Amino acid sequence: MNVLVMNARNLVIIGTSHIARESVLAVEGYIKKNKPEIVAIELDRRRAHALLHNIRKRHSLRMVRALGVKGFLFFIIAGFLQKRLGKLVGIDPGSEMRTALKAAIKEKLRIALIDRDIEITMKRLSQNLSWKERLWFVLDVLRGPFSGEMKEFRKMDLRKVPSEKWIVKVLKLVRMRYPNFYRVLVEERNEHMAVVLVDIMNKNPDSKILAVVGAGHEAELAALIREKLKKGTTYSFSFG
């Protein structure tokens, strides 16, 4: 389990894999044992509602208009790949986030949904993804993730959260091959989540806070939070 404790502050970050049973057990176990006052989750309201109520996303013309053609196609392909990997390990994608929600509700803890609205992210992706990146994406889907550069992917135990070394390598490759994709899906969302978490920390200095995020966000998110706390910048957000 990847866990980061913010120095001298009240935040613990757990980095998860969306298809790893290890993540489900880690999140559930941490909440049950430590009972943080606030559980912050890498979800927006739409995805949280869908996970809690087992709602399958229906594709529609409204969705195409909302996300844009490129964003819609990426959404379909990415969802297909994630479900395919999930079937290999016998777990639904996002189960650890659903577990965090249900565990927080069961323990009557406060919940903060800290991710940017999915439609905003997909619109940004549709507007910024280049033709070159789209071509690389199709080739990588057909040949396998990054082909020769990531042969060890086939040997990875998908039931466990990837090692920090493996995550760093993948993020480096993604940033090189898909710079706009990386900026929209990783950097912009990290910035958004860091702002929200700093606001929560400042407003609740005596509360234990747990943040459940994908392992690919964990390290950069922690660095951004430390930087913002050091600068002493204040923000204003509400959560429920």
For 169-189, how does the pLDDT look when each residue is reduced to its tens digit (9 = 90+)? 777 877 888 888 889 888 999
Q: Residue 68 falls within a domain, yes or no?
A: yes
Could you list the residue range(s) of the whole structural domain that residue 95 is in? 2-231
Q: Residue 121 falls within a domain, yes or no?
A: yes
Q: Residue 238 falls within a domain, yes or no?
A: no
The pairing of beta strand 2-5 with beta strand 110-113: unpaired
Look at the chain and report how many structural domains it folds into.
1
What is the per-residue pLDDT for 225?
93
* 38 SS3 class: strand
Q: Residue 56 falls within a domain, yes or no?
A: yes
Residue with tokens 């943080």: 36
Q: Residue 180 falls within a domain, yes or no?
A: yes
CA gap 137, 145 in Å, rounded: 9
* 64 SS3 class: helix
Confidence band of 89 (pLDDT split at 50, 70, 90): very low
The model carries a pTM of: 0.76
Residue 224 has pLDDT above 90, yes or no: yes
- CB burial of residue 5 (10 Å; 0-12, 13-18, 19+): exposed
Q: Residue 124 falls within a domain, yes or no?
A: yes
- Give the HSE-up count for residue 8: Cα atoms under 13 Å, Cβ half-sphere: 3
Backbone CA torsion sign across 63, 65, 67, 73: positive
Return the bridge partners of 132, or none.
none
Residue 57 has pLDDT above 90, yes or no: no
Q: Residue 236 falls within a domain, yes or no?
A: no
- Average pLDDT of the residues of the chain: 76
Q: Residue 239 falls within a domain, yes or no?
A: no
pLDDT digits over 123-174, tens only?
A: 887 788 787 877 777 776 666 554 555 555 555 554 555 566 666 777 787 7
